[in-house]
Amino acid sequence: MKKIISILLAVMLVVSVAAVSTGAIEYNPSDSYTVSKDTPTCEEAIQNCGGSLARDKVQKIYFQLPAEDPSNESSIWTNKFNSTDLGQDFCQVCVYWWTGLAGDAAQGWPSGKGCTWVGYKTKLVDAKNRIYEATVPAEGVTTLIWDNGVNAGMDPDAPMFKYGRQLADANIEGAAEDDYDTLPEGTPNPDNMDNCIAIISFDQSRAVENSLTHFWNYANDWYVYYGGGCYGEVLTTSDDYHWRYYACKNPEHHHNPGDANSDGSVNIVDVFSIQRNLIKKDVTGWNEMNADVDCDDYVSIIDATRIQRYKAAICNLDGSKPYSASNPVNPK
């Protein structure tokens, strides 16, 4: 099957391409080496150029900021040039995109003015799971690149040069069935990457080294985004999808639904653990993700009741009936 990444041409890195237009609308990114207060958000760029933010006119695309690993320099995206008010664990993630039409990459189609870094600001929508959201035109965009808001392709003598991070260019147009290894059933919208998430791959064999800057541009895999930091390979409408936590491929989510106190089993103690948590009492081994049995992003008495009904063999943990001990969403 076709890989998600295409080779990032050196000339595109040098000119730091970012302009896009659909029809008569031109999207001009910021003219800056680093992200700043003047860098437009994706939404601002679209609106300022007369585009529409109607839900059917845009696609919401997500990205998980890598967990910082001191032994892996490429995982460290945060620095003094792109810091936010949220502290050192977060940075301002940016994107830029283009249409792939003749002249677009080199000249800033259709105006011929050219285009520069760092693109547009994305929105941090889930700090707990480091998830960022980019609003992108639903049509006319072929290629998207994620970066950390720091230029890594223009002036190697600039003090911020070594802090730059970006992914290789990703094809986001026409994501049909079998296009991507990690999306065996295609995407929720077969025409684009709406409601999908990019997860960085540090596999060196898939990285692209720019011959001029010698920066490594890492690949990313695409998954369907379920929310709450959960992503997977199948659509929520698929027969293979049972529950977002069960289907989740995020290695950070070691999930055992219902096991609120992390003792390895689901029983009445978990009901008591949820009740104690709700009245602000400490719970040994508390696992909020496990406690959120109904996957609504809130721990409530409904979750405790779901466990009770499950233990009474009235329904499965996901609420489905009839109860079955072999139901795939029931923990072992």
Domains of the chain are: 10-232 (no CATH), 255-332 (1.10.1330.10)
Comparing 128-137, 143-152, 194-203, 323-332, the range with the smallest average pLDDT is 323-332
pLDDT of 6 > 60? The answer is no
pLDDT recorded at residue 286: 94
Terminal CA-CA length for the chain: 34
Q: What is the mean pLDDT of the chain?
A: 80
pLDDT of 321 > 80? The answer is yes
Identify each DSSP E strand in 29-122 by its residue range: 58-64, 83-84, 87-91, 94-98, 120-121
pLDDT of 245 > 90? The answer is no
Confidence of residue 72 (pLDDT cuts 50, 70, 90): confident
What pTM did the predictor assign?
0.78
pLDDT recorded at residue 37: 83
Instruction: List the helix and strand counts (H, then E) for the chain.
Output: 7, 16
Confidence of residue 74 (pLDDT cuts 50, 70, 90): confident
Mean pLDDT, range 100-115, rounded to an integer: 39
Confidence of residue 96 (pLDDT cuts 50, 70, 90): confident
Confidence of residue 191 (pLDDT cuts 50, 70, 90): confident
Burial code (b: 16+ CB inside 10 Å, e: under 16) for 283-306 equals beebbebbbbbbbeeebeeebbeb
